[in-house]
Structure 1
Amino acid sequence: SEERIREALEDTDAGPDVDRFVVACPMCMTMYEDGRKTGGYEDDIEITDVTELLVEAIDAKEK
């Protein structure tokens, strides 16, 4: 899990500026949450399911 987070950070131009990972599968959510906690990223990266983004967008539109 920790290695996957490191790989994902290295595979993007944003690198250390990434503050949120968006996933679309429960297995990925669990894996990245575990890696975030054990890899020392707990205060740096938020793991979000794509459905959470939809809820955020709907809430923002209603305001």
Structure 2
Amino acid sequence: MDQKASDQGWQQLQTHIEGFLGQALRNDMRSIEYKPRFILPLLEMPSEYRKNERQEMTT
């Protein structure tokens, strides 16, 4: 594949990606908005882990 055809292929791919993202952002903004209530449980340490950590610290 020569350089011109390769560049054209990448340009087409970029155009398709930009179109897809633009459409997704217009149509699905509510589903991709920042939702901190779903992040907090991911950041909390499970209670089993805390118990194991305390036991390791005391031994």
Q: Structures share a fold, TM > 0.5?
A: no
Which of the two has higher C-alpha Rg? 2
> Could you state the TM-score of these two structures normalised by the residue count of structure 1?
0.26
Q: Does 1 or 2 have the higher relative contact order (CA < 8 Å, sep 6+)?
A: 1
The TM-score with structure 2 as length reference comes to: 0.28
